[in-house]
A = this chain, B = another copy of it.
Amino acid sequence: MPDASPSGGPLEPGLTIGILGGGQLGRMLASAAARLGFDVAILDPEPDAPAGRVAAHTIVAAYDDPQGLAALAACADIVTYEFENVPAAAVARLAEMGVEVAPGPLALRVAQDRLEEKSFLNAHGAPTVAFAAADTAQAAVAAAEQLGAPCLMKTRREGYDGKGQRWVEHAADAAAAFQALGGVPVILEAAAAFVRELSVIAARGRDGATAIYPLTENHHEGGVLRRSIAPARAAPALADQAERIAARVLAGLDYVGVIGIELFEMADGSLLVNEIAPRVHNTGHWTQDGCEVDQFEQHIRAVAGWPLGPTAAIARVEMLNLLGDEVEGWRRYAAEPETRLHLYGKRDAKPGRKMGHVNRVKPL
């Protein structure tokens, strides 16, 4: 195998893909990369991270640790990430050392700040619920009055799986909610009277080509994804609408990689974007057993500058997350002929922790 990638050309098999983050998404990305002949280097602050155990190189360091980043730059020909809260400084540092990070800085900046995110989406023809930002308790009350209560207050930065947010039942409660969230800058979102939660997993290659998976229907519990069904039953007009939104978001971000776009289906048949995640996404796990090329291989193809793979569904899949000690159900799932089991190798089944998932596969 050649030992260098031609400038601007696709990354050659045998080269090394670095991944910031060693959780289950990093683990599944690493396995997909290995299948395509790449080596993988994982950087994660935790020793014994799930992805580190399936990778050629593991660097245990904080994401902003200069030595850790230097070690990653020394072995990786390109770097990607499994979560959107990668420090911007880390990406800048890698760029200084000559290592490109994909998806790029714009996608990270937009995804790390809910105000930037919603502003970007609206500016690019991807509608969202009405929203307003607030940096003080007083401004939060004013924002809640403007939007109408109940509304949802979220910290602008951080927060995932329902963390860092709370409902404001009456506008006057917004001050207390603001304090409860830590007194940090927040965004308030009008309640979305959605009839269904959907998502679309999409990819964009280095050449600007896009590939969009069929719509997924999602069911959350306590802010955490419990179950997805894909392809979601959807009229062609709804699917078209989702594809248009995905294409706009991908082009607007000049994106390279797989993105997860969470959607609300409204009673009038319109779609609003709830949020975007610049990475492989839990609601795309069904593609592992429902598509010829899953989201993990697709992401590796995209960041490596390879052609994107097909995204058509070859089966109908119900994806079920195994949270905390639900993972003990592996014996039962392993015995179900239609069920494919994906376990993450996490040592400690803390309550609510994502330990694995199953895909129950049915003919289309």
A residues with a Cβ closer than 8 A to B are: 1, 10, 13-14, 27, 30-31, 34-40, 53-56, 289, 292-293, 301, 306-307, 309-310, 314-315, 327, 330-331, 334-335, 337-338, 340-349, 356, 361
A341: chain B residues within 8 A (beta carbon): 35-36
Chain B nearest CB, measured from A302 CB (Å): 12
A335: chain B residues within 8 A (beta carbon): 307
A13/B343 in contact, CB under 8 A:
yes
A53: chain B residues within 8 A (beta carbon): 34, 39-40, 55-56
A348: chain B residues within 8 A (beta carbon): 1
Chain B nearest CB, measured from A99 CB (Å): 20
Q: In the complex, A56→B54 CA distance in Å?
A: 6
Contact of A292 among B14, B37, B289 (CB under 8 A): B289
Q: In chain B, what residue has the closest Cβ to A58?
A: B56
Q: In chain B, what residue has the closest Cβ to A325?
A: B1
A55: chain B residues within 8 A (beta carbon): 53-54
- What would 18 A/B residue contacts be, using CB atoms closer than 8 Å? A1-B347, A1-B349, A27-B34, A31-B35, A34-B54, A35-B341, A35-B343, A37-B345, A37-B356, A38-B345, A53-B55, A53-B56, A54-B54, A54-B56, A292-B361, A306-B334, A310-B338, A314-B315
B343/A37 in contact, CB under 8 A:
yes
A347: chain B residues within 8 A (beta carbon): 1, 14
The number of times this chain is found in the oligomer is 2
Chain B nearest CB, measured from A28 CB (Å): 8
B307/A334 in contact, CB under 8 A:
yes
A314: chain B residues within 8 A (beta carbon): 314-315
A292/B31 in contact, CB under 8 A:
no
Q: In the complex, A35→B35 CA distance in Å?
A: 13
Q: In the complex, A2→B31 CA distance in Å?
A: 25
